Amino acid sequence: MRTRYLWIGLALAWSVSAAAMPYFISDDFPSRFFPGKYFESKGQFYLRNKDYRAAVEMFEVSGYWADKISQYNVGIMYFNGIGIPVDKVRGVAWLRVAAQTHDDLAEHTFQLASAELNAEQRTQAEVLWQELDAKYGDKVSLRRALVRYQQDLAEVGGSHLGFVGNVTVTTAGDNGGLPEIGSVYFDRMNKQRDELIGQITGHVTVGKVGSLPVAAAAKANASQTPITMQPAPAKSSNVEKH
């Protein structure tokens, strides 16, 4: 499943010989080890179905579990008023949270969005960002996500994970419901964990970003001055002030 950001300014996933028994994990994307990705996929689902309030709520929950894409999407939805009332201050505060990893797109977008605020709004955004950072910032959200990962891992494999190769795991997610050897499954989960850590602690880029069409209904409360990918031209010094 290809990960997508919202495009800026455009119309816009054991009992009885337990070691030998199959273990079924329901993981929409997968929910068990990575709730951030699970709720991000829920947000994308609601977005596709034009339930924008539910989408932003799911993205916020996903951001609580260190999902940077969701944090970015929340910022864009608030700033541009995508299906919800415009709140540029809150949008900038969320974009600042998303930009903590110095992702090229998120950081550039935060700078452009912040430049559109006046001095009073920037002060408000700073205060709101401090509140959001205490709950959604990288330091706390990554730690929270990793603790959850270890808890779920222990629940599946017990305190001694040496026997996971004898466990057959069947998931309801991206593996198509096919049985998978435990060691292969957990290697795949560990790789996703390492990718999450790398995304937060290392410099990453999003690469090419595709547009995300937004229905006309979503534009009812949309900002009339959406973010653009280029800085606004400098104002002439001889423009009369009102």
At residue 143 the predicted structure's pLDDT band, cuts being 50, 70 and 90, is confident
Of 70-79, 80-89, 130-139, 180-189, the one with minimum mean pLDDT is 180-189
- Assess whether pLDDT exceeds 90 at residue 22: no
Residue 188 lies in a domain: yes
Burial class (CB in 10 A: 0-12, 13-18, 19+), 62: buried
Percent of the chain predicted with pLDDT > 70: 50
Q: What pTM value is reported for the model? A: 0.64
Which residue's entry shows tokens 């299906």?
A: 83
Residue 154 lies in a domain: yes
Q: Which domain holds residue 58?
A: 18-219
CA distances from 65 to 36, 136, 231 (A): 5, 8, 32
- Assess whether pLDDT exceeds 70 at residue 110: yes
For residue 202, give every residue at least 6 positions away whose Cβ sits within 8 Å of its Cβ, in sequence order, or none.
Answer: 101
Give ∠ CA 221-55-78 in degrees, rounded to 5.
Answer: 40
Q: What is the mean pLDDT of residues 153-158?
A: 64
In the chain, the number of structural domains is 1
- Assess whether pLDDT exceeds 80 at residue 171: no
Residue 224 lies in a domain: no
At residue 103 the predicted structure's pLDDT band, cuts being 50, 70 and 90, is confident
Which residues are registered as beta bridge partners of 180?
A: 169
d(CA 24, CA 38): 17
* pLDDT at position 101: 82
Residue 166 lies in a domain: yes
Check residue 169 and report its DSSP letter.
Answer: E
Residue 226 lies in a domain: no
Q: Which two tokens stand for residue 90?
A: 């809150």
Residue 63 lies in a domain: yes
- Assess whether pLDDT exceeds 90 at residue 205: no
- Assess whether pLDDT exceeds 90 at residue 104: no
d(CA 239, CA 18): 77
Residue 225 lies in a domain: no
Q: What is the mean pLDDT of residues 149-156?
A: 72
On whether the CB atoms of residues 237 and 119 are closer than 8 A, the answer is: no
* pLDDT at position 144: 87
- Assess whether pLDDT exceeds 80 at residue 223: no
- Assess whether pLDDT exceeds 70 at residue 210: no
